[in-house]
Each structure stands twice: as C-alpha cells, then as structure tokens.
Structure 1
Amino acid sequence: MTQVDTLDTPLGERRLSKLKWRCRRGLLENDLFIARFFERHESGMTERQAQAMETLMDLSDHDLMDLFMRRTEPDAGWADADVVDLLRLLRV
C-alpha cells in the first residue's frame, strides 16, 4: 500500500475517538464548529483529513475561530491543500 492509499483509508474507531478528544477546545464556539463537522463527516473521515485536523488543532483557539469565521485564511506556510479542504468542510 502506498502512502497516498494509506492517507485515504477510513479512520478506525480508536483513531477517531482519539482525534475527537484532541479536538476539544477552550472556546465553545470552536467546539460547535467541530461537533457539527463530526456529526456530518465522521463516518467517512480519512487519515488525510485526520492529519489536517491535527494541524488545525495546533492553532490557538482565537486563531482557529478566526479561520472558522472567515476573518483570516490559512497561511501557505503551514496549511497544505488537505488543511484547506478540511477547513471548507468545517465552515459549511
């Protein structure tokens, strides 16, 4: 299996559970965006999306909220195409 194939495999239950725990935030507003995302997409979530989510979770709560609210856009220095794609899903 190639690296690309591995990234596109669905998340297992344990990995998904750990990711949800990692996504808990200090701002309720961020939690609402993230909870809505998981309600809609967790059943088909891939490792690629999980890695993009991990990148977003490295941001501060206020920086993350600014992205969700479209006050800022992701910086090309840390956000690759997978992060941008995931952010689109989170913003819907």
Structure 2
Amino acid sequence: MFEQKRLSRLKWACRRGMLELDVLLLPFVEEAFADLPYEKQETFERLLTCDDPDLFAWIMGHQKCDDPELAEMVSIVVNRVKAQG
C-alpha cells in the first residue's frame, strides 16, 4: 500500500498540462488506484513520468506505447473510463 505522502505526490502528478489528462488521471487515482495490486500501482506511478503528448496519444489510441507494462496500464485506465460511461 502506498503511504499517504507518496499518494499525495501521486495525486499532484495527475495534475497535468492538459485538462483532458487531468479529468482522466485524478479520478482514476481517487476511485480505482487503491484496488490495484502494488506492482500495478508502481506502474501507474511510472506512467505519470511520461510526457503529456505521449500519454494523450496512448489514451486516445493515436499511438501504441512500446513499453508493455505501461501499455497495459493505459488500457486499465481507458477501460475504467469506458466502464464509467
């Protein structure tokens, strides 16, 4: 489990330069992050180190992420958004 300080930094990292990413990533952390296995939580944390244009392209399906772990995490985020409708 992530300690509170680390979780707070993660939420801050979800505040991106693109509003489109903010509205996807922050709710994911607040509502679904805690249910992920620890390894996936660490992958999500690593995902947030990526550049906004790359994140946006991956989430929108314009490009495929070459890193399999990050690609799977993008899929998890996107599928959650689709399920929320």
* Normalised-by-shorter TM-score class: 0.7 to 0.9
Whether 1:41 aligns to 2:28 is no
- Unpaired runs of 5+ in structure 2? 80-85
Q: How many residues align?
A: 79
> What is the CA–CA distance in structure 2 between the aligned matches of 1:80 and 1:13, rounded to whole Å?
28
- Structure 2 counterpart of 1:12, which letter? E
Match in the other structure for 1:62: 53
Considering fraction of residues, name the structure with more helix: 2
Relative to the length of structure 1, the TM-score reads 0.69
Cα RMSD after superposing both structures: 1.9
Q: Give 1:37's aligned amino acid.
A: F
Kindly provide the amino acid, as one letter, of the partner of residue 33 in structure 1. L
TM-score, normalised by the number of residues in structure 2: 0.73
Q: Secondary structure at the residue paired with 1:35? A: helix
Over 6 Å off, 4+ runs = none
C-alpha distance in 2 between matches for 1:47 and 1:24:
22
Q: Which consecutive unaligned segments of at least 5 residues does structure 1 have?
A: 1-9
**What is the CA–CA distance in structure 2 between the aligned matches of 1:11 and 1:85, rounded to whole Å?**
20
Distance 1:43 1:58, change over 3 A: closer
Q: Deviations over 1:11-64 (max 9, x none)?
A: 222221111112220000011110231233133244422321233222221111
Percent of aligned positions that are identical: 28
- Say which one has the larger Rg: 1
Corresponding residue for 2:77?
Answer: 90
